Structure 1
Amino acid sequence: MERPLESLVVRHTLRLPVPSGPAGQGATAARQFDAALLSVGFKLSAPLLEHLSGLAEETVVETASRTLETVRGMTGDHVVHNAYFKDFPANVPDTFDFWMACVREALSDDATRGSTLAQLRTGVLDLLTLPSYGNYRHTYEEMLAAHEELIAAAGDRMTVLHRGGPLAEEVTAVYLALAGSTTPLGEEGLRDLGLLAGHCADGPQPPEIPVRENRAVVNRARLGLGAELLVDTVTDVLRLACALSDGDVSLTEPTRLKSLSRPVRRSLLAALDAVVAASPAKLADVTAHREEFKRLGERLHPHEYPRWPHAAQVFAVARGEQEVRTLESRVEELLGSGDVPGAARLLATAAPGRLLRSLDRLLRGCPGPEERAAVTAAAEEAAPRVSGRVLLSVREHLRNRGGAAAARRLFVNPRGRAWVGPDTRAPLPAAEAARLAGFLDAEVLRRLPDPGHLLLDPAVLDVALPLSGKATAAGLGVLPRGSLSPVDGELLRFFVHWTQREHSTDYDLSAVMLDGAYKALSWLSYTALQTVGGEHSGDITSAPAPDGASEFINLRLDAVRGEFIVPQVNVFSGEGFEQVAESFFGFMLRDGEQLGRPFEPRTVRMKSELRGPGRVALPLVFLRGADGGWRAKWLHVYLRGTPSANRVEENRATVGTLVHGIVERDYLTVRHLAGLLARRARTTEEWNGGDPPEGPVTYIGLERPDGLHPDSVVFTPENLRALIPG
């Protein structure tokens, strides 16, 4: 168990738990460990190197082996990355010439000559029938031999691993941070929380678990220990049942509930009974998931337990045998009669968070200024009882409601499916919008801690606030949707790797270049192996285990035409992103003379998992600035696409529309929250490298600097969600 827990701590915190072991002469092994880490873009902090040097050599070697395995997985270096064209990015042929070479080879082969001629006579040729198309023609070792060694450059990524405490302390700290998070976790975060909860559920607990999905994962572990369940709604029990069935605790996707043991059935029924007995009005929550509760009733057999009659009411409501008045119906009745302030007052009492989320609709429904003032007053009164995440989400919403009524409206669901449509809503009245923004900021400021000496890395200010972990894919160097980060380098190289599970699977890495009006100028894909400033590594059409398959795109940024570069991964055939054994995307940055293999881990700036519901993945977009420099804006979205044969040529218009919607959206960033924190700070200072202050600070940046006072509070992308007040 220690090995996966140690790996988990490194992934979440970039801290290496100090290994336990005898003292010794480990200095040489520690330096070798540090050198090995450098090859994949990591290094040991000075305190960590010093600590390891004082341990026995065998302890250091064992620690190095485990840690290298972890960080290689973080960069994508845990798999082999072959390329169809062995010399890529050199000697990539013209697309038509390459296809003709494949045809000539097929015609020279007795086994394929007849079928190829038959296809040519019809005027339509399937490339996949050509024996030399889509399959590696050389081994990984032969590809490596064709490339010179990477030349080290000052711009190579260098991620520092810091010294942690004992493993038990580090594991507990990560558990408390994940379980007590004020924002929803992503898929990886929930999975890791499940592992930690099983290990930590009988130890220290966060004072509150505000996110319902997190609560379900923790409740699963508590149920196994016989501890008291943390439930206060009937939906909490449904989420727990989904967790016990290894299903979707967010209730977004249907879960096939498993049969439950008698002790578990008794625990769940007792929990339902207690919730309804304490507050019968909570029966109204059943209607939002009526079918799921019906299935739960089939698993719990409530008729066998007459001592919990209130639990039986839950399933009577689900079956339609007992009527309950929902909050939504009461609100709609008031709105239907024109009593918008009355609807606002009802929501303020019964569901203050829902009131804040409904403000746009309520204000637009008010007939006059008096009603708008009453709605705004109800929201202001309810704000102290609303989570910080909702307050900041509404604040971001207001920032994007100042344009014309016909502006684009962006929709992104919790799983990353995105679409854009015209915004036909009337503008919000300026006076009410300004008043709302003012009291939202004031309420968030009231909840923020005193940072004392606030130390800010300017590079973090344009990172979007992580209001939901579901807006960020798991991986290395990944930032929340809407974040902006600089791109410093001459060569930009994308990569995708996938390993199919059961069926032959073909993913196609592509990139489309857009002009300032978001119209396609050119693209790189298997149908366009070369364009101005770029090359494609060639089409691989199947990715069997264990090696899988990789594709690359290489771009010289000074030669790119257009204002936007949009990489995308298309599912051409086979398993989707959620069905394959593994799939991930990333990009590297290099200086022009660095050479090296197609994949070099220390040049990887970002590697993110591809685990979305659509057939076209859009991880991020690159924007050219007014100064000619480039920046990345993070998308983390998926298009539905078609069941097969998704290609950049067919979706470039849709991609342009979607990118327009996300690029033009004004996301709430760290800059906003830092501005509020600065009002409380004793001193606010920018940090641009060098030695940090001697005393404790509150530091917000992309990476933790060496030399911070041990009592400092540090926020980096790994724990940025902790900035969001509860």
Structure 2
Amino acid sequence: MPHLLEPLVIRHSHRLPLPTGPAGQGDVAARQFDAVLMSVGFKLSADLLELLSGLSEGTVVDTAVRTLGTVRDMVGDHVRHNVYFIDFPANVPDTFDFWTRCITEALADDASRDRTLAQLESGVVNLLTLPSYGTYQHTYAEMLGHHDELIAAAGDRLTVLHLGSTTDDEVTALYLALAGSSTPLNDDDLSDLKVLAARCVDGPQPEAIPVRENRAVVNEARLTAGSELLLDTVTDVLRLACALSGGDVTLQEPTRFRTLPRPVRRALLAGLDSVIATAPAKLADVHAHREPWKRLGERLHPHEYPRWPHAAQVFAVARGELEARSFDSRVEELLGMQDVLGATQLLKSAPGKLFRSLDRLLRTAIDEEEREAVVAAAESVVTEVSGRVVLAVREHLHNRAGDTGERRVFVNRLGRAWVAEDQRPPVLPTERKRLITALDAEIGRRLPAPERLLVDPDVLDVALPLSGRATAAGLGVLPRGSVTPVAGELLRFFVYWKQAEERTDFDLSAVMLDAKYRTVAWLAYTSLTQVEGEHSGDITEAPDGASEFINLRLGAVRSTFIVPQVNIFAGEGFEEVEESFFGFMLREGEQQGQPFEARTVRMKSELRGPGRVALPLAFRRARDGTWTAKWMHLYLKGLHSGNRVEGNRVTIATLLRGIVEREHIDVRYVADLMAGGGTTVTVWDGETIPSEPVTYIGLERPDGLHPDSRIITPENLRDLVPA
């Protein structure tokens, strides 16, 4: 079991749990292990290399095998990345010439000649019917023979694996961090939490589990172990029922409830009964999820358990047999009567809802007196609002400074994006500035006050993860809205997918836009070459997995923006395929190498979202010619089939404008607040390692920091969001 949990620890913390085994002469094997790691962009820390060198050779080899498998998966090197054009990025043909060649080859093939002639006579040729189109024409080994070895460069990625404590300690620490997170986790992290909760249910527990989805996962483990459940709302019970049925604990997608064993039914009903007996007003929460409650009632059979009458009331409310007026309906009634003062007073009893309603209340207020009452109410309860909500409202108010009438970008919890006209009246400057001042003061009060803060300058513009669902799982992935520098001559995108059951065709594309978000050019299977670069060729099915690449020479790019995208042309969706991920590499011009080289990968992100078009991130060129990446993690609904870059350029341009021009709460904001609170903030020069303990925030943990230092990297950036 300990070895099974090692990958979780490595992925989340870049720490290798303390290797154990007999002492020996493992120095040669340890150096070989380090060398192989470096070939895929990883390296052992000095203390980890030293420890392994003192263990037996067999122990080092076993550790290396397990670890290499994990890191190769992290970077996308666990699969073979072939390309359609064997010499890519060299010798990629013109699109029309390539299609003509495919038709010529089809006419020379006895099996396809008649069909191709018939299509030519009709004036339309289906590329998918041409024998040489869309499938690899060579083996992976043959492709490797056409590429020189990669030349090492100083800019290649090097992710250090640090020495951890025992597996039990590392697993417990990871469990406490995920379960006690102040922000929601993404689906992959929730799955990891489920594994960890089952292991750690009898051990140390976090002081609080503020995120309800996390609580549902933990409660599932506690129910299985016979421990006391953590329930204080009826919705906690509903989420737990979803977890027990393998459903969606976020309640965004419907769950098909399973037939539950009698002991489980008793536990759920007893929990419901206790919640309502303690606070009858919580019956009003049932209205938000009436249909799931009715379906769950069919599985729990509450009428068979008269000893829990309060639980039966929950299902009576869901069926409409018992009235329980919701809090939101009372607020809506007051606002419907233009009673802003009454609505504000009522909302003070639910501080989180008050904060989420501030913009509307201020827009609805008819005079200065009402606006003053709204602001005063927010100031009086700000200490009772979660840090995540305070930060989210702070970010929202900051971005309400501009004129109204612009296009407004909406992104739901699943990452699906859409655009609408912004017809809201403005929030007046006086109230807006006063609220921002109050929010800054409250966040500053909650932040830790270390004596010294050391900050990597490249992390200053990284957005705080106010929701884990704004960050996909993967390596080097940052929250939506983050901005990071991009340095290198060649930028190369890649997508890999493996279909589960039906033929599936993913298409990697990139559209280039000017400073006014107008299309300059694009690279796709319909445009294989441009001044900027090359496309590796269209692969139209992936029973054994398939890859597509786009190679760009940044010095030749004629545009301000580069927007890579993955379109589903046919087949299974991102959440249906067996596996799919996107990433990008950076290289210098002379490095050569294979189309995919693990140590040049800067980011690898899982593609798991709704919609048929994925927009992971965008790249922007500044006036001085330098490039940055802006992280988006968006999905467009798209068409059921036939999605192409040509069909969604306008939507992408509009979305890009909304994301690029929105300013997010970032690490710089936190560092400035800490500096204002008396902390000495130092921007790290990338070389000098302080000898004393510090709080360090950066994209990677430097080797050699004092062991008592607090380390914050993208893997635990959520720790900067105060409770």
When normalised by structure 2's length, the TM-score is: 0.99
Partner secondary structure for residue 464 of structure 1:
coil
Matched, 1:125 2:122: no
Partner of 1:462: 461
Matched, 1:606 2:625: no
User: How do residues 165-204 of structure 1 correspond to structure 2 at under 5 angstroms?
Assistant: 165-204=165-204
CA distance in 2, matches of 1:377, 1:435: 10
Matched, 1:207 2:204: no
Cα distance per residue 1:391-435 (max 9 Å; x no partner): 000000011101111122110000000112221111101110011
CA distance in 2, matches of 1:509, 1:530: 14
CA distance in 1, matches of 2:481, 2:407: 16
CA contact (8 A) 1:565 1:623 kept: yes
Cα distance per residue 1:138-186 (max 9 Å; x no partner): 0000000110100000010000000100100000000000000000000
CA distance in 1, matches of 2:333, 2:576: 44
Partner of 2:216: 216
Matched, 1:718 2:708: no
Letter in 2 for 1:436: L
CA contact (8 A) 1:454 1:681 kept: no
Residue 518 of structure 1: how far off its partner (Å): 0.6
Partner of 1:512: 511
Cα distance per residue 1:210-231 (max 9 Å; x no partner): 0000000000000000000001
Residue 52 of structure 1: how far off its partner (Å): 0.7
Matched, 1:638 2:638: no
Cα distance per residue 1:466-493 (max 9 Å; x no partner): 1000000100000000000111000000
Partner of 1:670: 667
Residue 6 of structure 1: how far off its partner (Å): 0.3
Partner secondary structure for residue 348 of structure 2:
helix
Partner of 1:593: 590
Runs of 4+ in 1 over 4 A off after TM superposition: none
Partner of 1:412: 411
Partner secondary structure for residue 232 of structure 2:
coil
Cα distance per residue 1:667-697 (max 9 Å; x no partner): 1111111111122344221111223221111
Partner of 2:564: 567
Partner of 2:6: 6
Partner of 1:358: 357
CA contact (8 A) 2:464 2:667 kept: yes
Structure 1 window deviating more from structure 2 (657-666 vs 418-427): it is 418-427
CA distance in 2, matches of 1:432, 1:315: 43
Matched, 1:584 2:559: no
| Structure 1 gap segments, 5+ residues each | none
Structure 1 window deviating more from structure 2 (485-494 vs 402-411): it is 402-411
| Structure 2 gap segments, 5+ residues each | none
Letter in 2 for 1:517: K
CA contact (8 A) 1:577 1:615 kept: yes
User: How do residues 119-158 of structure 1 correspond to structure 2 at under 5 angstroms?
Assistant: 119-158=119-158
Partner secondary structure for residue 617 of structure 2:
strand
Partner of 2:398: 399
Partner of 1:242: 242
Cα distance per residue 1:365-386 (max 9 Å; x no partner): 1110011001111111111111
Partner of 1:98: 98
Letter in 2 for 1:318: A
Residue 283 of structure 1: how far off its partner (Å): 0.5
Letter in 1 for 2:142: E
CA contact (8 A) 1:623 1:632 kept: yes
Cα distance per residue 1:83-110 (max 9 Å; x no partner): 0000000000010111011101111111
Matched, 1:41 2:41: yes
CA distance in 1, matches of 2:671, 2:408: 28
Letter in 1 for 2:471: T
Partner secondary structure for residue 404 of structure 1:
coil
CA distance in 1, matches of 2:407, 2:3: 48
- The equivalent position to 2:652 in structure 1, one of 652, 655, 663, is 655
Partner of 2:290: 290
CA contact (8 A) 2:2 2:168 kept: no
Cα distance per residue 1:206-255 (max 9 Å; x no partner): 00000000000000000000000001000000000111111110000111
Residue 336 of structure 1: how far off its partner (Å): 1.9
- The equivalent position to 1:704 in structure 2, one of 701, 705, 709, is 701
CA contact (8 A) 1:691 1:707 kept: no
CA contact (8 A) 2:72 2:78 kept: yes
Cα distance per residue 1:592-651 (max 9 Å; x no partner): 010000000000000000001010000000000111111100000000000000000111
CA distance in 2, matches of 1:70, 1:499: 19
Residue 456 of structure 1: how far off its partner (Å): 1.2
CA distance in 1, matches of 2:444, 2:389: 14
Letter in 1 for 2:60: V
Structure 1 window deviating more from structure 2 (325-334 vs 479-488): it is 325-334
Partner of 2:25: 25
Residue 701 of structure 1: how far off its partner (Å): 1.1
Partner of 1:549: 546
Letter in 2 for 1:485: T
CA distance in 2, matches of 1:588, 1:47: 29
CA distance in 2, matches of 1:680, 1:161: 33
Partner of 1:79: 79
CA distance in 1, matches of 2:658, 2:143: 41
Matched, 1:426 2:419: no
Structure 1 window deviating more from structure 2 (693-702 vs 519-528): it is 693-702
Matched, 1:531 2:530: yes
Cα distance per residue 1:567-612 (max 9 Å; x no partner): 0000000000000000000000000010000000000000000001
Partner of 1:325: 325
Partner of 2:683: 686
Partner of 2:338: 338
Partner secondary structure for residue 260 of structure 2:
coil
Partner secondary structure for residue 37 of structure 1:
helix
- Over the aligned positions, Cα root-mean-square deviation in angstroms equals 0.7
Cα distance per residue 1:332-359 (max 9 Å; x no partner): 111122220211111111x210100110
CA distance in 1, matches of 2:267, 2:196: 22
CA contact (8 A) 2:613 2:635 kept: yes
Residue 3 of structure 1: how far off its partner (Å): 2.6
Q: Number of residue pairs matched?
A: 723
When normalised by structure 1's length, the TM-score is: 0.99
CA distance in 1, matches of 2:342, 2:52: 66
CA contact (8 A) 2:671 2:681 kept: no
User: How do residues 465-484 of structure 1 correspond to structure 2 at under 5 angstroms?
Assistant: 465-484=464-483
CA distance in 1, matches of 2:51, 2:524: 49
Letter in 1 for 2:714: P
CA distance in 2, matches of 1:724, 1:90: 47
Matched, 1:268 2:268: yes
Partner of 1:305: 305
Cα distance per residue 1:429-462 (max 9 Å; x no partner): 1110011001111111111122111111111100
Letter in 2 for 1:501: A
CA contact (8 A) 1:344 1:379 kept: no
CA distance in 1, matches of 2:24, 2:677: 48
Partner secondary structure for residue 432 of structure 2:
helix
Cα distance per residue 1:273-303 (max 9 Å; x no partner): 0000000110001000000000110110101
